[in-house]
Structures are given as C-alpha cells and as structure tokens.
Structure 1
Amino acid sequence: MTEPVPFGTSAATGPGSQHPIRRLLRNPFGLASLIVLTAIVFVAILAPWLAPFDPNASRPELTNVAPFTSDYVLGGDSAGRDVLSRLIWAARSTMLASLTVLAVSLVIGVVAGLLAGYYGGVVQAVTNWVSDAVLALPGVVLLIAMYAVLGPNILLAMAVYGVLVSPIFYRLVRGVVAGVRHELYIDAAKVSGLGDARILFRHVLRAVRSPVIIQSAFILGTAVGIQAALEFLGLGSPRDASWGGMLDLAFRNIYVDVSGVVWPAITVTVVVLAFVLLGNALRDALDPSSKRRTLTGRQAARLRSQAVSHNAVPDEVVPDDVDTDVADPDDGVIGDTPADAVLSVRDLRVGYPAGMATFRDVVQGVDLDVRRGEIVGLVGESGSGKSQTAFAVLGLLPRNAVVIGGSVRFDGIEILQQKGRLQAVRGSRIGYIPQEPMTNLDPTMTIGKQLVYGLRAVRHISRAEAETRLIDLLHRVGIPDADEVTRRYPHEISGGMAQRVLIAGAVAPDPDLIIADEPTTALDVTVQAEVLDLIRELRDERGLAVIMVTHDLGVVSDLCDRVAVMREGRIVESSPTVEFFGGPGHDYSRELLHAAAELG
C-alpha cells in the first residue's frame, strides 16, 4: 500500500475528527447550542450580580412600561417589576429544577437498567413491571394532584417528574446491557475474578455512557418545558421568579401589554431548542461511526482530483461531474476484455481520508474479469482490499470512501458510480451473500416476509408466486421444513440455516453474478462443506458467475476455477486454480501457500 498522499487541507475539512469534543465543536448546531447553554448557566450562577434590580421589587410608576423606554430595559410587568431581572433570576430556578429531574431519573433509571440487563430473570421481570406501571401514570395530572396536597414546591414536583421519566433511561440502559452482557470481554472479566459490581461499573457502564449522555440532553430540554408548563398553570411559588410564571402573568395581561409574553416565550424556546440540538450533536459526535469522515460530493471530488494527479491516473477514467460523480460509460476500459465476461473491472482505485491532510489508497488499480459459469476466488490477507473491491462493484462503499477512478462493466454496461444503472442490476442480476448471516437478517421480520419482500422488490411478481419460488429454493438449498422456517424469526434458526436462507434469497431473482464475501467464515466445517457444494451446484445448474471473497485457500482449491491474489490493494497474480496450486508465479502467492501448508 502506498504511503499517505498529502493534499490541501481545504479538501479535508468535514465533520470527522479524532476526538468526540472536536467533532462536537465542529458541528455548527452543537457549537451554537453549547454557547447558548453555557451563557444560561453563567447567567444562573451570577444572577445576584447580573440582575440590575431585585426581581420582586415593585415600582408602580413603571407598571407595564414598554421595553427600552426606561430603567427597565425589557419593560415592566403588571406588578411593576423588571422583566430582565426576573428572566435572569428565573434561569437559576430553571437550571436547578432541570438538574433535579436529570439526577433523579439517572439514578433510578440507570441503576435499575444495569441490574435488569445484567441479571435478567426475576430482576428484569420485576423492574419491567414497575417501569410499565410508572409509564402508565398520567404525569401532569399526578403533579397537579400533588400541588393540592403539598403546596407550591416546584423542586419536589420536578423530583417526582424525574421518577416518572426514569423508565426512559431504564429501557435504554437495559437494552444496551442485555446486548453486551454475553460479550467475550465480560466473560473474560468474570474469569479473571472480578465481582459483579466491578464488572457492572467498570465494563458494562462504559457501554452505556454515550447513549445516556445523549438522552440526558433531551431530558434536560423536556424538564425545562415541563417546569415552564407547571409554572404557567400556577403550580409554582408566586414569590420565586420563573419563566413559566412570567408567561402566566403576561397572558393575563396580554390585552394591556403584548410584549410581556415575548421575552419569556423566546427564552424558553431557545433553551429547549438548544438542549435538543445539543442532544443531536452529541449523538453524532459520540456515535462510533462518526469517527469516519463523511464526505460531501464536492469534498469527494476535490480529494479525487488531487489523488488522481498524485497517482497519475488517466483523466479519462475519472468522473467529472461533481454532483453525481458519474463516469462516461464508454470511457475507462483498459486492456482486453474477454467476450464472455459478465463482469469486467479495470484500474479500480478506492481511497479514504487518513487525517486532516492525507489520503490513503486501499484499492490501487485492480483489474478483474469474471466469466459466465466461472467461480473466481479473490484471496489475500486481511486488509488487502478484497472486500473493498467487492463493495465497490456492489456500490456499498461507506460514505467516506472515494472512488478515485476506474471502470466496472457488468454485461458490457458501465456501472461504476452510475447509481441508476447499478440499482437496475443490483439484487436482480447481481446477488450478494454476506459474511455474517445472523446480522444480515432483519430481527423484526420473519424469514419468509423479508425474503418475499426482497424478491418482489426486484421482480414484478405476485406474492403467491414469490412464496412458491422461495419455498422451492429453500428446499433446494437443503432446508426440508421450509414452510416452518419461513414463519420463524432469525434468532430462531441456526447460523448454517441462516446462511442457506441468504443464499436462497440471493439466487431467487435468478442473477447472473453472485458476490460472496467470506460466506463460510462463521460456519462449522461440516456446514462449510455443504454450503460450498450448494454454491457449486447452483453454478452448474444456472450458469452463475461467482466471486468468492475469502482468505481460506482450502475453499479456493475445492470450489474455484480461477484465483486472483490481492496484496496491499493490488492483484499480484491471476491464474487458473490448478496452475496456482501447481506453482504460483508471485512470491507473495508462494508465501500464502507455504503458510497454508504449515497450518495444515
């Protein structure tokens, strides 16, 4: 693989960066919301020094005075008090009430979620029942009833509201913990002698930090709105300044002074909006996938042009259109293409940004032909570019990938970055068998429903015809009780059966080409052999062309007609399987065979 290619920083600017705080600050909405909320916090803390007047001091001569016409900058209310001073002091009570809601809901929801998700069983059953019961309570009605009993105690009311919203944190944490409690690193911690408490707070809690932080921002925004609503209904103390109380008083006096409603309404709206925007920005910043740079079409075009000029890629293989990045279908073919080739790849180049001012190629000028009825094994060590090449053909590259240039022709038609042409053949004439069968089936749909949905999306046939064809195919791929399997959910079948289901789904539209990305990696040896036999039989019956992406030379020797060896983004050797195992021509190919022989 080549060294990182330097290029101008203007082409690299984007939302991606290495640290979550930097990603948050690079988000304009995140930065703006942080500035607003930081200002509100400082105003709340420094209220005694920032407020020009006592919030409860009344000057009858300034009652309902208009803004910017007296000492009261934002005007006076119906009691002759300074609106600006009351807004400043109300920030303190609002922040305190919001933090009360957050603290109560966090303590109850997170702790209960950790215990329920980690232990399950009776603990989860009981906490689920309590959570459902709390969610069923009419929150606002309950708070109003409390006011009648306890009087105007807004902090107590917000603490109760924290209890009412704690099931939000509970369900969030329970779901995440239930997903990680069986991970291998948790088992390793148990084996090392750590107790449940240490595992929960040292390992499991780390897995829920990001979603909890994100949800906290939304809860704070909700708390501001709820407190304002309660104060607006008159459930707060009339002696304490609050934004909701100011709104209540202003609405009673709206026919005398309209401007009194404006200032507290704007303040509540801005603060709630800032918390919501902060939550969205935190989601983007803390999401692991956001560490990958997401490029706009214009940024990708800049990166492509600079990488092309550095690598001396011919101009005719580089898409010129900035918005659609569509290449000329008649350009980019390098060298001779076999007449019976269903797929022909020429000089394919794919790269990724590698920092703020570098660019790294992961696929560097790949040439590959696949003939009808031929199985080609694409082999190489991990990171050699096998899957990236396959994903480029399928149009499944991540958004931060840059196709620098090249040509991909399917049945003689250029499809590289031609979205319309690619969508016309993907799924219908080009099938895909993924590496992880269990994670590529929708857990919310039955097997039959998602197979029928996928087939009818690319073939205009009736539901009954689709069901009949799929049942026959499921029988064909070795699932005798196909009718029963179609009514099951993915978690109710084994990995080997899931792989057979995916194979049936891939061949159901009767494609010309199948791209199989390590289809046997997650299966045991017996099931592997059955799957390989199945692919071979389908090839013989249907004349399928197959690209078998794998690092297993045993699979190649058993199944493939030809071998293409990749190393550091390049195909270093392509030859018939018999010739390859009889005596490879490249040093790296010999190293692969030698390593496979040693493993044995």
Structure 2
Amino acid sequence: MNEGEGRVNAPSTVRRGALGRLARNPLGLVSAAVLALIALAVLLAPVLVSQPPDASDLRHAFAGPSGGHPLGFDSAGRDIWSRLLYGGRTTLSGALISLAVSLLLGVPSGLVAGYRGGRLDGLASWIANLVMALPAMIVLLASRAVLGSTVWVLMVVLGVLVAPAFFRLVRGIVVQVRGELYVDAARVSGLGDARIIARHVLVVVRGPIIIQIALVAGIAIGLQAGLEFLGIGSGDTPTWGAMLNEAFQNIQRSPALMLWPGLALGLTSGALVLLAGALRDVLEDRTGGGSGRARRRAVPVPAAAPVPADTVPADPADAASADPAAAAAEDHGPAGRATLLSVRGLAVGYRLPDGSDREVVHDVDLDVAPGEIVGLVGESGSGKTQTAFSVLGILPEGGRILRGGILLDGQEVVGLPERRRRALRGGMVAYVPQEPMSNLDPAFTVGSQLVEPIRVRLGLSRKQAVQRALDLLSLVEIADPERTFRSYPHQISGGMAQRVLIAGAMSCEPRLLIADEPTTALDVRVQAEILELLRRLQREHELGVLLVTHNLGVVADLCDRVAVMREGRIVETGTAEQVLHAPADPYTRTLLEAVLDHVPAREPWQPRKVVVP
C-alpha cells in the first residue's frame, strides 16, 4: 500500500484504535461481554430451552432444578429458564422500541432547535416542557385503557414521553456549541448547516447521548417491568416484570423465584450504564490520534489544483461590462479602480428586549481592490469585527444589517439568501480568524478539517482533496505537512494552527481575504513569520486583503491603505503613509501617540502593470 492510500484509510485506523482501547478497558470489556451473553441467550431461546414458556404442569409446581430445567419451575409448573429467556425477548424488544422512538424524536429536534434558535427553539422547548410535565405512569395506564395492553404500543407511548429528555440534553449542548469559533469557521468555509450539524455539532453531543441512551434504556426496562409487576401489562406474555409479579405472590413459599428476573433486570441495566461510560471515554479519548511516527517525504510546492468552472469568480472587468451593479462598484473604488469589496453606508444593530435596535456600526464606507491590503484599525469595541462579520454574513445572534450595501465583486450581498451567500464564502471571500486554537474543532484532525471544505467546495475526490490539503500545508511553510495533517489541534503550536487556518482560507482560491487580528495570540517572532506569509500569498495570488487589527505596527508593515474606526464610525481613510505620518483626525493622532516604536509605512500600493505583447 502506498503512502497516499495510507492517508485515505486513516479514519478506519482510528476506528480500529477505538475498538482496541475499548477492549483494554476492564469495565467496558466485562459489561460488553455480559450484554452480549444476555442478547445471545435471548435470541437463541428456542435452541436453549426444552419446552415453551407457557407450557404448564401443576405436578411440577415449585419443583427444583432437574435435567433440561436448570432453574426449576414456578407456581404454575412452567419452566423458569424458558420464561426467563422468552421474557427477555419481550422486555428488551420493548425497551429498544421505546429507545428508538425517543431518539428519533428527541435528538434531531434538539439539534435543529439548538442550532437554529429563535421561534423554532421556543416552540420546540414549549412542547418538550409540556410532555415532561405529564406523569408517565398515569399516561401509560390511560394508554393501556384506550389502546389495549399490547406491550409494543405502551413502549411507543413511553418513547414519546421520554423524548424530551434527549431533546433538552442535546439542545442545551448545541446552544453552547453553536457560538464556538470553529463552528463560525466552518460556516465561513462554505459548509451548509446540515453538514456543520452532522460534523461539528453532533460529535460534541455523542458522548452525553450515549450515557442518556443507557439511562433511558434502563428506565424503559424498569417502567415496563413495573407495569407488569402491578399486573397491568400484556397478559400471559412472558416478561421479566410478569415473573416478578408471580414471584412476589408466592414469596413466602419460594423466595428464590424473585432471584432470576431480578438478577436479569439488574445485570442488564448495570451493564448498559458501564458500557455506555466506557464507550463515551473511548470516543472522547484522542491522546493517540497523532502520536505515531509520521513518515517524512518532500512535498512539492503546489500548482493550483483544477477548480470547477462554476466556483471560479468572473473577472471583475468582464463583470463590470455585463452588470451595471459591477460598473457602479468600479466607480466606488479608490482612484477609479475596480473593487473586490465595496461597503457603502453600512449600519449594524442588535435587537434589544423592548424591540428597538442598538446601532453599533454607523454609515461605514470601505473599499478593497485586487492586490491591495487595507487595514481597518481601531481600539477594542470600535466596530471593526462587526464590520468584517457583516461582509461575511456571520453576525452573532441578534445582530443584523440595518441599512447600507455590501458589494462583493459587484454582487450585492445584503439581503441575499443564505444559500447563495454561502456559495461566496470560501471561494470569492475567505476568512482568517484570531485565536487559532479556538477556530479548529478539537474533535477532528487538522487534515480532516482541511479536506472537508475542499471536497464540498471543489467537488474533488477524497484522495485529490488529501493531496491538495498536504500541498496547502507546504504552501504555508509547515515543515512536516504529513505529521501536521494527522495531528489534532492540541498537538500543534499556536503559530502552526494559524498557518493551518491560512491554508484553509486559501484552499478554494479566494480573491478576497478577511484577516481578523491574525497575529494577536502569537509571540513576536511568530507574528513576523505570519505577516511575511500573508504578504507573500497576497503578492503571489493578487489577493485583496482586509486586515482587521488594532496594531499600528502591523499596519505600517503590511497595509497599503488604512481606515481608522472609532465608536462604530470611520473617522479617517488614506494611504498608510498619509495616515501614519500626517494623521488628520485627533483620534488617529491619539492612537499613534500610544505606539512606542515608530515604524515607517510600507510603500503605497501600485496596480500591476500589464505588458501587451
């Protein structure tokens, strides 16, 4: 097998490793063995017993063990071993039905309500609270009276009653996870909501769901046994609860009759809980994910991978000639140049409890041309990030654009449906966030997180996407791309994580890059390396870059033009040399006075000259 095949089959290796860790867990191994024995005995009941469970012979009432009857007989002369195994079929099948119904109702609704929020979340939570307020035993008794004593029907009703437990568990976790930075990063990369939920959200709730499954299964088994014990179950059908009822009626004459169904109930419930805990620990344990020695090989500097035609943005000049909106965008651009990004009169606000809006960004005008780096500068809370998030369409919950327009390559995106806006992310515009470690999902390897958007956006096969991801890691100057590809985020440094995020942003050949404080969490040496990397990528790929920062040293080193922001407004715009050496606004002078090192601004941006042969 070649190296490429080894990388493609890495997930199966991880699964085998998980099974191996489970086999090395004593509690997990023993509980799995107990459950397997119980399941096999129940399934093979016709083979393991010598007579049907309802065959009665009063001459053998309360008789002890004998050949073919290892547990003896009950008060009606029926074989206890036969009734125990056949009763397990009914009891466990009923629990599985109840569990399946509760999972199908509770988990998807909890995922969607928690992720979407808003009115859907409110309605779903109200329904869940209403169902949880119903007394389960009384509802089951009423259902028996109306629907009959069939155990399967009662277990479906029980599944509906238990579903809110899954809903509330899943919803509570998802509400916390949906605000994580790695979820925003996945959204900006162009992944749809369904894929984000299945990939980045569901993996977070799987551990608690496994534990809840064991608890709900135990509750279903216990409630079913309780109904049968009270004599209101499914009549003559053998179940563990019916056996307990019969044993309790004869407890003074033969107390041992209580032992076998009680032991079966206890062993099953206990093994379920122990196995669930072991499975949860195995799935959440990622200490061995990238610990193996990775084979090193030279990875060539990438040539641009073929990109499907429908993902390549049109040339701005052609768009301007065919689209009046694009022509208008050209007029807005600095010095009459075509613009990748043109923001006009942008206002952003957040809805208050009284229904009014608190405006945090006021009438912002901003332009970024191809091959130009524009710095958006201001202190914390000045509205820089809110402006960037508005361009990307990922404002936090409650935020919305109150007025103004945003043109991306001549296309108005304010009011654009989410599906069409998602098509622009990753391809036309990409995002490099701050806090690199928080923007990588700790549940997946670095390579997995790079490959997924490439496959979705570019339609490449897994093997092609893996190779492109390795090439991108080489492009951002990571010394050992294969090792980094196989590592989890906690196994790499902050500087390397930032390089990974830049590689992800460049994965689908964007034309506009929005970098939000890309060096804030890094030390000085790594900051310089990241800035040099951004400068090289911008120069080689003719990127337009909007750099959101509060660091005037970064602005002097990297930016062509600067827009200074204060309290949600642009107070000054100009070339980096003008703004840093001859500021016109008092606030800009205040920012410059706070800088200890006086760094000269870089040379002003000049459009690339086209040589016509």
TM-score calculated relative to the size of structure 1: 0.49
